[in-house]
Structure 1
């Protein structure tokens, strides 16, 4: 049940971020649900591998390269999901930031 609630929270965060951040387009609610699922899968399986591989660069940049890994995950999700598009690096960066903030705020009510 908690997984379903997390999916709804992520979907709402993606819809809010798509409406706030310029350069981000989500075709509809079903596309937002698919994006939430794809981002969840990518963050679970691919992101830890990328973080380990990028650890030397992340240390050299004092953690700033971690942002590039997050943006890459969002770009990959936009490539995998039809109806979800990101126009540039800054759009992906702000999209990730807004999704994190909105998910955090909505997730507070879950705990």
Structure 2
């Protein structure tokens, strides 16, 4: 349980970092980032596997690059559900999802 809470807090901080570095991604406050981390986690756990399964042929053809599109869609879906998060366009969603993925990989590597 503590590990989940730490992961949510770190993801919240990472979302705030993404909002500071990527023009087009806006987060109002830490509360919105924390709620966004929860919604993003739910989207990644429930919706992303279904979309990844359905898009498997496209993912194979693009040598896995289509997963970047799926990650960007998850970020945009999170922004649609959380009122304090705004993603203005698809390109900021792609760049934001890449940065968020790199930050999560870094923390997974450290832990």
* TM-score, length basis structure 2: 0.92
Q: Which residue of 2 aligns with 1:96?
A: 97
Large movers: runs of 4+ above 4 Å:
none
Shift of residue 106, structure 1, vs aligned partner: 3.3
> Residues 86 and 92 of structure 1 are in contact (CA less than 8 Å); yes or no, is this contact kept in structure 2?
yes
Consecutive unaligned residues in structure 2, runs of 5 or more: none
User: Could you tell me which residue of structure 2 aligns to residue 52 of structure 1?
Assistant: 53
**Structure 1 portions without partners, runs of 5+:** none
- Report the 3-state secondary structure (helix = DSSP H, G, I; strand = E; otherwise coil) of the residue aligned with 2:107: helix
**RMSD of aligned alpha carbons:** 1.2
Aligned residues between the structures: 110
Q: Is the 8 A contact 2:79 2:86 kept in 1?
A: yes
| Partner in structure 2 of residue 24 of structure 1 | 25
Does the 8 Å CA contact 1:17/1:98 hold for their aligned counterparts? yes
* TM-score, scaled relative to structure 1: 0.92
What residue in structure 1 maps to residue 67 of structure 2?
Answer: 66
Give the structure, 1 or 2, with the largest relative contact order (CA under 8 Å, sep 6 or more).
1
Counterpart of 1:3 in structure 2 is 4
